[in-house]
Structure 1
Amino acid sequence: MQPDEVTPLLQRINAGDPTAAEELLPLVYGELRRLAASRMARESPGQTLQATALVHEAWLRLGGDAQPAWANRAHFFAAAAEAMRRILIDNARRKQAVRHGGKLQKVSANETAFDLPADLADDNELLLINEALEAFAQHDARKAELVKQRYFVGLTIEEAAQVLGISERTAKRDWVYARTWLFNEVKRLRG
């Protein structure tokens, strides 16, 4: 996919071309799939959500074939990153819901000991990071968006800088600041 292919297609969608939305998914699918796979590789081994499912769910949340008005490629991928982040957060919250076992310990019928699910700690961490990220977005929205692009979508500094329309140097500086701020906030939230 060439970056210059997406923006004209998005402009056709905004102009009301009925065939343009159908052309968008095949064009961006590979990139979305790569980003989702990168993000899912950092998830816990017991993760039930697959990268393909993450892309499809994100596509549906973005509007499916009835795409909203996108300003450009960066706007589209920023929205896709946010959709993927929300899906992962919703999935972590769903796993922790009491009706799904929540923070209760699993009991095996063959064992008398209790087993704590291995992925529970990762879901807790994801929810803590999300809470810290929401607070950070109130503090500095641009830097929070950089974190979303890096942490939840798996973009490199260079790719995130391109999507956000900032220089690599600014992105690197923002990344150092964001990591420090979030580290301190997560530490505070843990108590």
Structure 2
Amino acid sequence: MKLKKITIITASAAILILAFALQALAMDFSAEFVEKDGDSVRKGKIYMTGQKSRFEMEGMDEIEVTRADKKVMWIIFPKKRVYVEEEFWGVIPGDIGETGAPKDTGDLSRKDLGYEMVDSYRLKKFLVTVKYNKGETQDQYYEWYRTGFPIPVKMESMNGAVSYEYKKIKMAPQDPSLFNEPKGYKKITIDELEKLEAEWAKDKKK
């Protein structure tokens, strides 16, 4: 199993969280989220405080805690009392790589598309363009912002096939223990996890 397989919880969300983490350090919130990828729909909850986030995917025995401040990520399996620790693969704006030069996070620009009603909220809509390699390649997608909330409440691909949206946002201090490394759990490697998952799959068939 590759890391991206077991971290699908934040596959699309991590870019969103980290792209705005530095300007939202003082923001604490929790919310439900809906992630769509074609016909696939995943729902769950997110908790965030500063550069710490916690994702709980609905219907999955898996929790992901991302600590951008420590550059580490924990994939936790509560029922099995095990977890995997990995170096955080996201990019923090202005982060410095091993070469000592800033990482290429792209040249981002936004085009104001006015307001649009989403779930009874009047949201500001933007077309986002991110250019890489001095403009040789680029990505484009839509973002919607709610007044007083610095992170986009919705992101969507140009063709509408992929989207990520926050619902039932609650601005409030979060329990610090939500973002801690799990105590009383066994730390395992990706290879060990693959073996355990094979055993779990056998147990389910019995």
Could you say which TM-score interval applies, normalised by the shorter chain? under 0.3
**TM-score, normalization: structure 1?**
0.27
Q: Which has the larger strand fraction?
A: 2
Q: Which has the larger helix fraction?
A: 1
